Amino acid sequence: MSDIKTHYRNCNICEAMCGLEIKYQDKHILSIKGDPEDPFSKGYNCPKATALEDFYNDEDRLKTPIRRTANGWEDISWDQAFTEIAEKLKGIQKEHGRNALAVYLGNPNAHNLGNALFLKPFMKSLGTINRFSSASTDQMPHHVAANFMFGAGMLIPVPDIDRTDFMLIIGGNPVVSNGSMMTAPNVIGRMKAIQKRGGKIVVVDPRRTRTAKIADQHLFIRPEKDALLLLAMIHCVFTTNSVNLRHLADRVDGLDALENIANDYSPESVAKHVGIPASDIRTLTNDMTTADSAVCYSRMGASTQTFGGLCQWLTNVLNIITGNFDRAGGAMFPQPAFDLLRNHKKGHKSSFGQYKSRVRKLPFFNGEFPVATLAEEIFTPGEGQIKSLITVAGNPVLSSPSGHKLAEAFSGLDYMVAIDIYLNETTKHANIILPATTGLENSHFDIFFNSFSVRNTVKYSKPLFEPADYQRTDWQILKELAARMTDTDLDEYTPEMILDMELQKGPYGKQGMSLAKLIDNPHGIDIGPLMPCIEARIKTEQGSVNLVPQLYINDLPRLQNVIIHPARDKKYPFDLIGRRLVKSHNTWTQNSERLIKGKNPCTLEVHPDDAKVLGISNGQSVMVSSMVGEVKIEVVITDDIQRGVVSMPQGWGHNQQGTQMSVAAKQPGVSINDLTDASRVDTLTGNAALNGTPVAINVA
């Protein structure tokens, strides 16, 4: 046995970028704890970090390629796998056109340095426009708003949680999720600090979440009515003469148009629909406009819903007109050391709506189509039909709306490849699975989450354990496939080479930022709090903020229609919403014994009054059905959920035949996405409307 050693790295499971201190001896991990010397997370970590050990040791994890045959899966060599894949995919593209091949990119791509850098050339080598990703079950409305208001889809303002005096959280549960589009390790600590300095936190959510319980005030809202609430708040900002653009007075276009729009949405006119009394909406607005600094942060609940586009636009608007934009304590732009917008020219035209999806005419944006349309693009015959698919670190069968329909679609494909670490609900449909190294075997640098971070910091992590010779990293797989698809030689670039170049060319390059410097500082380097930087960062042609982009004006009648004619099928009287759990991350961490042990967490929360009417009791199993599917699930009765709304976790349903996640199968749960309906989207952005799915509940 050799000496006990210590390794420092960032956890790459979620967006919080917690610094970890890992004690190990040879290939054995002795402990995983928060790194007290990490300048950003200062010793914080959540329970999921310790499971990095489990993923490293997981016997179910695939390490070499496997091929599906009539008699089950067989091992094949990397060379055999690449040769077969290139031949099959080229053949399909030759016969049916380049777009007959589709790609689905999942969430872990965003947490992986190599993928962040090599997916672009990989996509180019395939030459298809049919890219789909988890972004359209998540944050597409944020990108669309950023694109049209600030000139770049990646220029997303984040709440300056460490300096704000008032934080309004709409449809986010950062105490459990650890924050999203807001990288802020130890959110609880940061929220408590707001309160300690005399500030206030208000949560707007159909569920009394853990975040709501810590907040000073919680307002229950009817699902999918947030755009109305935001419009009414904006209305109040105008009627109380509280518009205050501060230093942005000459930089904001469209204030008059906004006032005209907001005119129609008095708190009294929306209160009934939103489920929040008009007086509360006025008080909420007053709290925000009178605080020394304030920020409205709206996330998944206000993004993965029918009006996600409007919600994210209006959130930015509210921050801007209350003088809380590009200012300490408000919504601010980070300035990351690896700047994804380094080469983004001002006035660069976006790809929004450049193409429309073939079947449902949903918009193409940020280089992709909404995943809600993937199944029909596979099922519907005709020119441009998708015949083959590559998934990269994604599990859309469990994560996308109407996931069970996607499973059916995948099983009918001519050919499918999965680059993944598990044989799971999605990858079991592949002809070949190419397994990548993961977690502790990889080097790490957060390109994306530094771009959404509440503080400018920078850190590089070396791999803890060198992978075995027979393993491949994701980026090596992507590069090899790209080379095979284009019959070109592999170039010598590694993620580290590109990272070093970007750091040196980036905003701190002149001060000596480089990969070598990061290697010398394994705990990470603090650059400092976010700084006002709109002049340098904004990418619109004129350098001003477009407060009222036309596409949002065009979308308002849809919102009005919902008010005037609330389309409600009486057969499905409840609104289903999702929830996240402290000890699971999306669909893939459930193969860790320590994360899934204990009581079944995959339960349906029902309000006591609803339970009484339904005649159901705690712990009883019920059938939940929607327009597209049905699941059987155990009930938990709680007044933490609003009447008429029910909640179940996302990411579960590991009960399918032919998968190989033996730990997850012990506590499988059911998939919420067997109920969510792919036909329900925010038609403006194409994002899936996962929240607010109409469902019925019947005794099982």
- Which letter does DSSP use for residue 629 in this model? -
Q: In this chain, which stretch among 150-158, 301-309, 354-362, 450-458 interacts with ligand MGD, using CB under 6 A?
A: 301-309
Q: Is 18 in the site for ligand SF4 (CB under 6 A)?
A: yes
CB of 113 to ligand SF4, least distance (A): 15
Among ligand SF4, Mo ion, ligand MGD, none, the one that 136 touches (CB under a kind-dependent 5 to 8 A) is none
**Nearest 5°: phi and psi at 288?**
-70, -45
CB of 474 to ligand SF4, least distance (A): 19
Among Mo ion, ligand MGD, ligand SF4, none, the one that 692 touches (CB under a kind-dependent 5 to 8 A) is ligand MGD
Q: Is 262 in the site for ligand SF4 (CB under 6 A)?
A: no
Mode of pairing for the β-strands spanning 217-219 and 200-204: parallel
Task: Please name the residues in contact with 277: beta carbons below 8 A apart, sequence gap of 6 or more.
Answer: 271
Q: Is 49 in the site for ligand SF4 (CB under 6 A)?
A: yes
How far apart CA 189 and CA 11 sit, in angstroms, is 18
CB of 14 to ligand SF4, least distance (A): 3
Q: Which of 12, 201, 16 is nearest to 110 (CA)?
A: 12
| Closer CB to ligand MGD, 335 or 647, in the complex | 647
Please work out the total of residues on this chain that contact ligand MGD, with binding judged by CB under 6 A.
64
Residue with tokens 């699941």: 631
- Which letter does DSSP use for residue 368 in this model? B
CB of 100 to ligand MGD, least distance (A): 22
Which of 153, 174, 334, 370 is close enough to bind ligand MGD by CB under 6 A? 174
Which of 7, 14, 306, 503 is close enough to bind ligand SF4 by CB under 6 A? 14
Q: In this chain, which stretch among 71-79, 169-177, 258-266, 517-525 interacts with ligand MGD, using CB under 6 A?
A: 169-177
CA distances from residue 59 to 53, 91, 473 in whole angstroms, order as listed: 12, 35, 18
| Closer CB to ligand MGD, 151 or 601, in the complex | 601
How far apart CA 143 and CA 140 sit, in angstroms, is 5
How far apart CA 669 and CA 492 sit, in angstroms, is 45
Mark residues 147-186: x for contact with ligand SF4 by CB under 6 A, - for none.
Answer: -------------------------------x------x-
| Closer CB to ligand SF4, 48 or 537, in the complex | 48
Residue 184 · residue 239 · CB < 8 Å = no
What does 167-180 look like in DSSP terms, one character per residue? Answer: EEEES--HHHH--S
Which of 21, 29, 39, 48 is close enough to bind ligand SF4 by CB under 6 A? 48
Among ligand SF4, ligand MGD, Mo ion, none, the one that 299 touches (CB under a kind-dependent 5 to 8 A) is ligand MGD
- Which letter does DSSP use for residue 540 in this model? S
Residue 391 · residue 427 · CB < 8 Å = yes
Which of 585, 607, 654, 680 is close enough to bind ligand MGD by CB under 6 A? 585
Residue 211, SS3 per DSSP: helix
How far apart CA 437 and CA 648 sit, in angstroms, is 32
Among ligand SF4, Mo ion, ligand MGD, none, the one that 582 touches (CB under a kind-dependent 5 to 8 A) is ligand MGD
Among Mo ion, ligand SF4, ligand MGD, none, the one that 144 touches (CB under a kind-dependent 5 to 8 A) is none
How far apart CA 5 and CA 342 sit, in angstroms, is 38
What are the tokens at 315? 């959130």
Residue 606 · residue 62 · CB < 8 Å = no
Q: Dihedral of CA 484/486/488/489: which sign?
A: negative
**Sheet architecture: strand order including 28-34:** 5-10, 19-25, 28-34
Q: In this chain, which stretch among 132-140, 209-217, 312-320, 574-582 interacts with Mo ion, using CB under 5 A?
A: 132-140
Among Mo ion, ligand SF4, ligand MGD, none, the one that 660 touches (CB under a kind-dependent 5 to 8 A) is none
HEC letters along 447-472: CCHHHHECEEEECCECCCCCCCCCCC
How far apart CA 393 and CA 661 sit, in angstroms, is 15
Which of 35, 38, 138, 677 is close enough to bind Mo ion by CB under 5 A? 138
| Closer CB to ligand SF4, 14 or 181, in the complex | 14
| Closer CB to Mo ion, 17 or 32, in the complex | 17
Q: In this chain, which stretch among 46-54, 197-205, 347-355, 364-372 interacts with ligand SF4, using CB under 6 A?
A: 46-54
Residue 545 · residue 151 · CB < 8 Å = no
How far apart CA 167 and CA 188 sit, in angstroms, is 13
467 half-sphere exposure, CB direction, 13 A CA radius: 19
Q: Is 479 in the site for ligand MGD (CB under 6 A)?
A: no
Range list of H helices, 419-514 = 474-486, 495-505
CB of 107 to Mo ion, least distance (A): 5
Q: Is 106 in the site for ligand MGD (CB under 6 A)?
A: yes
CB of 48 to ligand SF4, least distance (A): 4
CB of 49 to ligand SF4, least distance (A): 4
Furthest-apart CA pair in the chain: how many Å? 73
Q: In this chain, which stretch among 1-9, 349-357, 419-427, 449-457 interacts with ligand MGD, using CB under 6 A?
A: 419-427
What are the tokens at 382? 């005709």
Mark residues 648-687: x for contact with ligand MGD by CB under 6 A, - for none.
Answer: --xx--------------------xx--x-----------
Residues in the site for ligand SF4, rule: CB under 6 A? 11, 13-14, 16-18, 45-46, 48-49, 178, 185
Residues in the site for Mo ion, rule: CB under 5 A? 138
